[in-house]
Structure 1
């Protein structure tokens, strides 16, 4: 059973150029359930990506807690958070974070390199199937030569490689045309329907329309309640 992922009264600040502090998140409460696709929406600078990174244990809140069942990510040290993320969380970053010199297949297989000396054939096959599902050639030369849309789809395949219980996606459809955007939106929904917790930051109305719940942020605060689909 996959635990619930929760933000409890989460507050986060960052230093500004003048040495002061800017509130990125302010008393954010949110609950994300397995089997559901949740989207985080709001204007630029509202704290969406910061919340996603806090849920992943990349950003440590100044106040409040991030809970994954009985695990409080806020109390873990950096190495423990990295280990938790590798085991439990697949991420699609806004800037993709691919290795330009590697091809699509090698980039997709990267998470396996952290846990295994040799990549099992089953994982290699899964990587190839994911890339085929998303319409990206596995052996297409360095990913630096791919379009941004293709790179984004490689990043999603990499996030799904180890079949993690939690998938966090930051603007996963932003660089895609209508057809591919719809394909990725439905792929995220299918991952949720398979029992995973899927949380996506998005400006894409097509993705929002598929969501089970929608969390709107403005200046670091939740300004609308979560809306659940019937």
Structure 2
């Protein structure tokens, strides 16, 4: 049942050009880089069908998922994961997370990482994101601004092998980096370079012709 649903989700996911499940070996590396300690609270804000969740759960059972596509929400629930929200960019948790690990939609990746850093990550927490190479190689002013912010908050970027997605369930030639940030005390200077909008405009995440808009997936979590 779950396997059938995962195939269906991969074929029918809205704007499927932005839905690329990562290979297991990448998920394992990301979770190791996160250095999760027992009982730490962990957020997976672009959970998809739960590839990262599988490795996170080996280190902590205190895991929350955010996922927008309703079919993926169902898959996650059947696998025993707790889905707490749909659109990550509107998620403001009451309690911040010690670790955030994500493979975000690349067109909005910079906005996702800053939202995670400012609104979801606890002091001294760590986030690990898989990001496309545009964030760290493009000469456009938008990406230069992001890199300046990334440097100011002490971010570390690690270039991944070019064949990263060759072994994925949905192959791609996109080049990727791991972005790792340990949260620093707030500083006004950081705000100068903070990303506040996506490139391109993130409207592709809000097409009502595709997505079932539910602010809380109450039927999944029983709240």
Q: Please report the TM-score for the alignment, with normalisation by the length of structure 2.
A: 0.33
More strand by share: 1
Structure with the greater alpha carbon radius of gyration: 1
Does 1 or 2 have the higher relative contact order (CA < 8 Å, sep 6+)? 1
What is the TM-score when the length of structure 1 is the normalising length? 0.33
